Chain A
Amino acid sequence: MKRHVSTAAVLAALALGVSACGTGSGGSAPAGDGGASGSSGGGGGDVPSVAFVPKLQGVPYFEAMNTGGQAACEEIGCEWLYQGPVEADAAAQSDVVRSFVQQGVDALVVAPNDPDSISPLLQQAADAGIAVATSDTDAPDSVRQVFVEQASTQGIGEGLTDALMEAMGGSGKYAIVSCGETAQNLNSWIEVQRSYTAEAYPDAEIVDVVYAGEDQARATQLATDLMNANPDLTGLVGECTSSAPGVAQAVRDAGRTGEVFTVGLGTPQAMLPYLEDGSSSAAILWDVEALGYLTAYAGTQLAAGEGFDDLSAVTDTYPDVTYDDATKTLLLGPPLRITADNAGDYDY
């Protein structure tokens, strides 16, 4: 019997360790480069403090947003705080959000991993008098005052589909390797891809949508499995920055460059080698630093109690920015198509 008890104890400890890993890594996130949060303390300076919580930190995408946010705060006068979990995990992210609420920042902007679990926290923040917003990914049923959107859902979904269809010749079977299953932005792009493909390219068909998390190796393996499952597959879409190079790598490894075409939402530097050898046809993205800039601007406006009727402070720098009052959405502009020719122009 004693042995049983010890077995159970070890397993319980293991489970505890495991679950602690998830949240623990979020809690211990100051290990990363989010040291800036230390200085915020009371946040009682004369400039408003704007805290941005990315889905995860340490990936080039959100680091580029961080760069843009810092630049904006230097220009328009705000204190930029950047901290996120080390993995794209809703619970770990909630811990970071909670700590910002306790710090009493002036504005809190989140790119939620899971909109449903972040909503009550945004409510808490709003109750504490903090201006709340979402950026990059929306939490539509929350109390957020504005959503800073990189490009319209329609624009991205259609941009991805058009780029892939150009490579596939307008017809054929393709599959999507997505990332987090609950990520609101990815799922809404996929919805547009489904409906736009059916409507604009009747000879094309989406055969499967699979989810790899933010894991490159898993995205690559899933893409390989999809090619084996569907021998007549001629297209793959990598729906996020880890799966976009992942699906291209799978096509390259299978020696099927030129037979199976890929597009994805990839960052320019990571996609460059694949765009150059043709295993990726195009990456669809937006100016990520500009998105960070707009995020900091939005937070500052909200903290000051201002709305978005007058956008002249940003349209000097980013002329395509628009605001839609009905959906409370601040839109950066149309998406960019990144190819072998212009990928080198971006340093992230």
Chain B
Amino acid sequence: MSAAAPAPPRGSAPRRAAGGGRVLPFPVTGQELVLVGVVAVLWVVLGLATPAFLSSGSIVPLLVATAPIALIGIGVTVVIISGGIDVSVGSIVLVCAAVAATAMTASGLPLVPVLLLSVAVGGLLGLVNGVLVAYGRVHAIIITFGTLNIFRFVGLQVFGGSTIDGIPPVLAVFGRGEAGRTLGVPHSFLLVAVVAALAWVALRHTAGGRHYYAIGGDAQAARLAGIAVRPRVLLAYVLTGLLTGLAACFVIAQGTSTLAPNVGLGLELSAIAAVVIGGTSITGGRGSVLGTVLGALLVQTVASGIIQLGWPSQLSSLFIGVFIIVAVGVDLLRQRRRRSA
């Protein structure tokens, strides 16, 4: 394994900017282009094969359903690039959604404070993960598997063995209904696009962002190169917590006026699936948030497409499984090719 430089980890030939000697990967990776192509082809085919796939009544709910997975996936992408993983996000959704729903129902909290509350709770839980992973010297999957169970316990205490009924439609601005869109564009997905764009710029064009690739490539080398590894890693988990807190509000918005204690269950798997399908290497060092958003979009497109074609709903599990294995296989091939090159 090559050592020191926090260099571009992408497979394809790096581009050297004229003067500064900065080395950057291509703006869009091969996997992202493939995903754009696959999603585009699927949308066209489904548009032709079904009565209403490309109508706004279908595309808007599809984008709304994609939003929370994509948003959480953006955070998880940064974590995975840094060589870690966060499997506790589903439980963070549970805690944040429970707190937010209770605040709206019991105290009549309006929109902005609810969002701030949920994001703050998410950030706090992310901080717990971050401190334990960055300073605990135990692999992130163990730490976050532990916090998955602990956070779930905390969330279930908020529920108190019941559901939260009669949630007022405060968060309808992020729902799939009329209140959830402006000029036909769903607010939740718009926010995802903004966050993804910011994360893309930060990961690609700031030193701090590049550091994540270096840490994921070889943490020891990164430390020797003068990167403050622990604070960086800590920040990735806090960021994931904050985004997951916001995603919890999206989840409430697309559910019913009752919140059940199984909210968020298994969401970490959907998020990790989106990340992996998006081309991020599960072993760290390589990846992109655009790929993750596209991965989430592909998964939801397949799930909706199968129903709209009238096929058995179980088929979506099959397709998602195939996508994951193909994506990981392509990643392994790429690594092998780079090493032998």
Residues of A within 8 A of B (CB): 2-4, 6-7, 10-11, 13-14, 17-18, 20-21, 24-25, 28, 31-33, 56-60, 63, 86-88, 181, 207-208, 210-212, 214-217, 220-222, 224-231, 242, 245-246, 248-249, 252-255, 269-270, 272-274
Interface centre among B53, B139, B307 (most CB of A within 10 A): B307
Whether A14 lies near B282 (C-beta < 8 A) is yes
Residues of chain B within 8 A of A245, CB atoms compared: 256-258
Residues of chain B within 8 A of A274, CB atoms compared: 256-257
Whether B161 lies near A58 (C-beta < 8 A) is yes
Closest residue of A by beta carbon distance from B51? A231
Whether A222 lies near B313 (C-beta < 8 A) is yes
Report which of B65, B149, B153, B265 forms a contact with A221, defined as CB distance below 8 A. B65
Interface string of B298-333 (1 = CB under 8 A from A): 000001100111100110000000000000100010
CA separation between A10 and B57, bound complex, in Å? 40
> Would A3 and B1 be within 8 Å (CB), given that A63-B161, A228-B50, A229-B308 are in contact?
yes
**A339 CB to nearest B CB, Å:** 17
CA separation between A309 and B244, bound complex, in Å? 56
Whether A270 lies near B1 (C-beta < 8 A) is no
Residues of chain B within 8 A of A208, CB atoms compared: 307, 310
Interface string of B145-164 (1 = CB under 8 A from A): 10011001100100111110
What would 15 more interface pairs be, CB under 8 Å, given A14-B272, A60-B163, A272-B165?
A2-B1, A4-B335, A14-B85, A17-B141, A20-B145, A31-B156, A57-B161, A58-B261, A60-B162, A210-B313, A224-B57, A228-B57, A254-B177, A269-B166, A270-B165
Residues of chain A within 8 A of B176, CB atoms compared: 220, 224, 253
Interface centre among B1, B145, B328 (most CB of A within 10 A): B145
B interface SS class: loop
Whether A32 lies near B255 (C-beta < 8 A) is no
Q: Please classify how large the interface on chain B is, using the bins under 10, 10 to 19, 20 to 34, 35 or more.
A: 35 or more
CA separation between A347 and B153, bound complex, in Å? 25
**B72 CB to nearest A CB, Å:** 14
> Would A216 and B282 be within 8 Å (CB), given that A231-B51, A254-B57, A255-B177 are in contact?
no
Closest residue of B by beta carbon distance from A33? B161
